[in-house]
Amino acid sequence: MYLGVFDMGERLEQMRKLLKEKRRLKELLEQDIQQIERDIDKLEKQLERAERSLSLR
C-alpha cells in the first residue's frame, strides 16, 4: 500500500514538472508568434510603400 502511495506522489511531481515545462513552451511559442506577426506587419507596410512609389513613376 505504501509503495502505491509513493508512486502516486512521484507521478504527481512528474506531472507538475511537465505542466511547468509545457507552460514555458507555450509562453515561448506565444512570443514567437507575436514577433512573426510584427515582422509580417513591417513587411506589408514596406511592400505597400514600394508599390506606391513604383506606381507614382
Chain position carrying cell 514538472: 17
Tell me the per-residue pLDDT of 6-56, one tens digit each, with 9 for 90 and over.
799 899 999 999 999 999 999 999 999 999 999 999 999 999 999 998 887
pLDDT of amino acid 57:
63
pTM for this model (two decimals): 0.72
- String of DSSP letters for the chain: -HHHHHHHHHHHHHHHHHHHHHHHHHHHHHHHHHHHHHHHHHHHHHHHHHHHHHHT-
Separation of alpha carbons 32 and 8, rounded Å: 36
Q: Where are the domains of the chain?
A: 24-57
